[in-house]
Amino acid sequence: MKNVFSILILSILVLTSCKNEKKTTTKSKLVVGIVIDQMRYDYLTRFADKYGDGGFKRILKGGFSLENAHYNYIPTYTAVGHTSIYTGTTPTNHAIISNNWYDKYEKKTIYCVDDSNYKTIGNDGDGGKKSPYRMLTTTIADQLRLSQNMNGKSIGLSIKDRSAILPAGHTANAAYWFDGGAQGKWISSSFYMNELPNWVKEFNENGKADEYLSKPWETLYDINTYIESVEDNNKFEETFKGQEAPVFPHDIPTLRSKNNNYSILKAIPAGNSFTTDFAKATITNEQLGKSNYTDFLAISYSSIDYVGHQFGVASKEIEDTYLRLDKDLEILFTFLDTEVGAGNYTLFLTADHAAVQVPSYLQSVKIPANYFSYTKFKTYLNEVSKKYFKSDELIENVSNFQIFLNKEKIESLKLDEHLVAQKLADESINYKGIYKAVTAKTLQTTTFTNGILNSLQNGYNQKYSGDILLVPNPSTISNYYKNGGTTHGSGYSYDTHIPIIFYGNGITKGASKKEYEIIDIAPTISNLL
């Protein structure tokens, strides 16, 4: 208790000194937001002995680290995470309720950034028909542009489209993402531009992608020194297509053709190095941090997430990916020092969610964990509905642990919609793997101030969410991952606890063990600017 108290005092002191110092510093020329896709907080400590001084450790030592920061809503998915970081609010307000969700108005499953009003810029595929229009609020990058009367540049980039588009916001000058497949190009959408800038075209022709794919993925250091992770060959991991066992060295040049050609670059640590190359090219060619206005660059390192899904959080692959990412971060930070100038930029580093240990691995060590089948659950719901309401057509869609009711059918049968929802919620609890079930009406009429139901409420959007929201048991994930690997999405701390580190212009050294929420980043950066 005494320790906790002194830490609190310390953090107050640090924050106070931070406040005083702010008055004497000049405004940042560039803000860099770095999101690591699927980073558990414990990766900072677990691999600490192997990190160099110029990557994670540099910003931990010279910046301010929030050691007990969490996501405060469900579901903890990529699009939702990136949107919440940059908008400073949750799905209740920003309306990005998942990556894909059932749109009850269009009556089909949609993808968060799809927009058929726009065309692809950079190749002849469909990968660029995107925009952030479904995000209803502004991001920090939008607010920065507005405050400077649309001066200053804001650019988003990532291997994943959603992770480039949502952070950069509605007023972005550009967002770029990597379209894998046969062509392997950085592309954009006509939402931003009519043609790729020459420097992007040149980057696309520089042969870097092929160079990265010409080498096998071997461990950075002797694999025998990777004592922070489980055995390389284990049954809890998923192989690449065409691979015998999920082990090093991963023969990328051979595996490439069976794994959608350039797309395999997204799923290996070289994808992070490639992202770093593109970020450096962006800073130089767009002259970021060189004008009298503040520019904004949102970078998302997405390859980690693919590795985490495939091999799990305790794998040698994840360990190697983080050790390599640490090197990429060092390259990026050093580049920012020389190109923008140390002290001229502010950065923050965080993650869009963490991840759970592979459930089958947890089961093997006697920890409760499970796989959930949406198909079987829907069959169960239909049986319940038949029993109580004489119809098995009342469920329209079950996805993202939400149930969408068929309102037309309910009305035609003259049933009470709220009674149907409540009965299905009550009966859902009797289904294995479902831990809590709450109707939309309850979320509209009750305020949950803490715990998992508060997270569920923060993730609930009255216009877009389902009619019944479910919370699965801890360590219970979709049976899509039954053959190996893992995922994220829950409101449990294995998915919510992530790093938040501020560094650079305006930031004083320090750390806090106080509980913070992901939505605290946007107001902190806004206040600083």
Q: Give the C-alpha separation, 252 to 217, whole Å.
A: 6
Rg (CA), the chain: 23
Q: Which stretch binds Zn ion (CB under 5 A): 25-33, 102-110, 347-355, 389-397?
A: 347-355
The 10 Å Cβ neighbour count of residue 340 is 23
Report, in Å, the least distance between residue 40 CB and Zn ion: 12
- Give me the least distance between CB of 343 and Zn ion, in Å please: 31
Is the Cβ of residue 65 or residue 78 nearer to Zn ion in the bound state?
78
Q: Which stretch binds Zn ion (CB under 5 A): 67-75, 234-242, 298-306, 413-421?
A: 298-306
Tell me which residues in 77-136 interact with Zn ion (CB under 5 A): 78
- Region for 435 from its dihedrals, namely left if φ exceeds 0, alpha if ψ lies in -120 to 50, beta otherwise: alpha
Choices 74-82, 113-121, 238-246, 405-413 (CB under 5 A): range interacting with Zn ion: 74-82
Strands 468-472 and 154-158: unpaired
3-state DSSP assignment of residue 354: coil
Nearer to Zn ion by C-beta: 238 or 417? 238
Cβ distance to Zn ion smaller for residue 38 or 234? 38
Q: Reduce the DSSP state of residue 394 to 3 states and report it.
A: coil
Nearer of residues 36 and 340 to Zn ion, judged by Cβ = 36
What token pair was written down for 272? 């992070």
- Determine the size of the site formed for Zn ion (CB under 5 A): 4
Tokens coding 121: 């810029």
Residue 125 CB partners (closer than 8 Å, separation 6+): 179, 181, 183, 187
Say whether residue 237 binds Zn ion (CB under 5 A). Answer: no
The residue of the chain with the least Cβ separation from Zn ion equals 78
Strands 154-158 and 295-301: parallel
Least separation in angstroms between residue 4's CB and Zn ion is 32
User: Shortest Cβ distance from residue 407 to Zn ion (Å)?
Assistant: 32
Helices (H) and strands (E) in the chain, counts: 21, 18
Binders in 149-178 for Zn ion, by CB under 5 A: none
352 is an interface residue for Zn ion by CB under 5 A = yes
Compare residues 37 and 317 and give the one whose CB is closer to Zn ion.
37
* Selected catalytic residue, list 16, 26, 78, 239: 78
The residues that bridge with 35 in the sheet, in sequence order, are 300, 350
Q: Is 24 marked active-site?
A: no
CA angle 361, 76, 91 (to 5 degrees): 165
Give Cβ neighbours of residue 376 (< 8 Å, ≥ 6 apart): none
Among 37, 67, 179, 427, binds Zn ion (CB under 5 A): 37
CA 474 from centroid of its chain's CA atoms: 20
- Binding range to Zn ion, per CB under 5 A, among 150-158, 297-305, 331-339, 341-349: 297-305
- Amino acid identity, position 264: I
Sign of torsion over alpha carbons 484, 485, 488, 490: positive
Residue 38 CB, shortest distance to Zn ion, in Å, is 5
Please name the residue ranges forming H helices in 248-366. Answer: 252-255, 270-285, 303-311, 316-336, 359-364
Q: Is 242 left (phi over 0), alpha (psi -120 to 50) or beta?
A: left
Question: Can you read off the two tokens belonging to residue 509?
Answer: 């050294």
CA distance 178 to 164: 10
Of 237 and 305, the one with the shorter C-beta distance to Zn ion is: 305
Please, which residue, 179 or 352, has the CB nearer to Zn ion?
Answer: 352
Question: Minimal distance in Å, beta carbon 388 to Zn ion?
Answer: 37
176/481 with CB nearer Zn ion: 481
295 binds Zn ion (CB under 5 A): no
Q: How far is the CB of 361 from Zn ion (least distance, A)?
A: 18
Which residue, 147 or 478, is less far from Zn ion as judged by CB? Answer: 478
CA distance 30 to 135: 24
* Minimum separation from the CB atom of position 36 to Zn ion (A): 9
What is the DSSP track for 56-90? HHHHHHHSEEEEEEE--SS---HHHHHHHHHHSS-
CA dihedral 405, 98, 182, 273 (to 10 degrees): -170
Q: How far is the CB of 490 from Zn ion (least distance, A)?
A: 12
Q: Which of helix, strand or coil describes residue 494?
A: helix
Mark the segment that binds Zn ion (CB under 5 A) among 175-183, 264-272, 301-309, 503-511.
301-309
- For residues 167, 143, 130, 260, the Cα torsion angle rounded to the nearest 10 degrees is -20
Alpha-carbon span 32 to 347, nearest angstrom: 5
Map the footprint of Zn ion across residues 302-321, applying CB under 5 A: 305
Stretch that binds Zn ion, among 25-33, 57-65, 73-81, 456-464 (CB under 5 A): 73-81
Task: Name the minimum Å distance from CB 77 to Zn ion.
Answer: 7
Q: Which is nearer to Zn ion, 352 or 467 (CB)?
A: 352
Contact stretch for Zn ion (CB under 5 A) within 36-44, 123-131, 137-145, 172-180: 36-44
Enumerate binding residues for Zn ion (CB under 5 A).
Answer: 37, 78, 305, 352
Active site residues: 78
